[in-house]
Amino acid sequence: MNKTVLNPPSLPKPSGYAHGVLVEGGRVLFLAGQTGTGPTGNIASPGDLVAQFSQALFNLKVVIEAAGGVMTDTVKLTIFVTDKRAYRANLKPLGEAYRSFFGRYYPAVTLVEVKGLFDDEALVEIEGTAVIGPPP
């Protein structure tokens, strides 16, 4: 599988995301939106955006690994937040949480502020797409 991150010089330099990811080969995995839901089925950290963000990424990781992949197989993420200002106010700890899962790899990312999520205690939900190499 070949994966090429595309950041054309005619666009502003991205920070924390890529403008595009071109993939040739591999298996496509569509990732359902994950919230900060823990193993009990409840939001693990009510009121804590960073902890919920980290739990949502962990949940994505579990699905990706179940398909035989790794987090850097992710090519697209959409992050839904209920409070864009809170997200911006927590960029540093959110970035630290992100890098604990992805390192310095950045897929194409979209951030969307929404009025609410299915679980009223959820502050963030993350969905994505991964392209995983052929099975060994």
pLDDT-based confidence at 25, cuts 50/70/90?
confident
Domain 2-132 has CATH 3.30.830.10: no
pLDDT in tens, 71-94: 999 999 999 999 999 999 999 999
Give the pairing of strands 74-81 and 27-34: unpaired
pLDDT of amino acid 98: 98
pLDDT-based confidence at 136, cuts 50/70/90?
low
**Residue type at 37 in one-letter notation:** T
Length of the chain counted residue by residue: 136
Give the Cα separation of 84 and 113 in Å (integer). 6
- Provide the token pair at 75: 């090519």
pLDDT surpasses 90 at 3: no
Predicted TM-score (pTM) of the model is: 0.91
pLDDT surpasses 80 at 135: no
Average pLDDT, the chain: 95
Give the pairing of strands 124-132 and 27-34: antiparallel
pLDDT of amino acid 36: 97
pLDDT in tens, 119-134: 999 999 999 999 998 7
